[in-house]
Amino acid sequence: MLHHLPSALSVSRIFFTPPIAAAILDHRYEYAYILCWIAGSTDFFDGFLARRYGWTSRTGAWLDAVSDKVLLTTLYICFGINGDVPRSLMALVLGRDIMILTLAVIGLLFTPIRDFPPSIWGKLSTNVQIAAAAAILAGPDWLKPWALGACAAATAWSGIHYLYSAIVHWRALPRAT
């Protein structure tokens, strides 16, 4: 029973997303910040428990990634709606995630590839997106332009890397004759 705890913690981030979105759209940034910290702690604990006790599964890894994407994409959509980030950054974050999802679906449907591990650049991008979101919600004004620039750069680079990696993997697959 306890071996499902990491997956349950991952799913809890999805349930935190609507109240966080509502708080942001209502400009209650302190409340959204607190909820984001709670949701973020579930990300830490699900990973810690999975690694520490070996409670890992393909489903758990998938749920963790999906939960992160749902929360972060929702944050940036809300930030874009409120004018906290340029619409171009909102589109970049959303577009990168749609591209990654599309590449995974294509991989599942048309190739034997079943594992889509995050790259170091994807992990870096996620962390920079989290830091930029924290800066938007609670950071000093001087930090926000730097955080948004770093977010745009990390997100764009990881998107390019994921696309390049997908092309390399697909080219390495044996061709049907």
pLDDT at 1 over 80: no
**Cα–Cα distance measured from residue 76 to residue 132, given in angstroms and rounded to the nearest whole number:** 10
Name the least confident of 1-5, 35-39, 141-145, 154-158: 1-5
How many domains does the chain contain in total?
1
> How far are the Cα atoms of 16, 78, 110, 138 from residue 134, in angstroms, in the given order?
16, 14, 39, 6
**How remote is the C-alpha of 68 from its chain's centroid?**
4
pLDDT at 22 over 90: yes
Query: Which amino acid, residue 146?
Result: W
Looking at the domain assignment, is residue 80 inside a domain? yes
What is the per-residue pLDDT across 80-137, written as a single tens digit (0 to 9) for each?
A: 999 999 999 999 999 999 999 999 899 889 888 877 888 999 989 999 999 999 999 9
Token pair of 88, please?
């171009």
Token pair of 11, please?
């799913």
Name the least confident of 14-18, 41-45, 74-78, 98-102: 41-45
For residue 107, give its domain range: 2-172
Q: Say which residue, 78 or 119, is predicted with more confidence.
A: 78
Looking at the domain assignment, is residue 177 inside a domain? no
pLDDT at 176 over 80: no
* 8 Å CB contact between 121 and 158: yes
**Of residues 98, 50, 53, the one with CA closest to residue 72:** 98
Looking at the domain assignment, is residue 32 inside a domain? yes
Read off the CATH number of the domain in which 20 is found. Answer: 1.20.120.1760
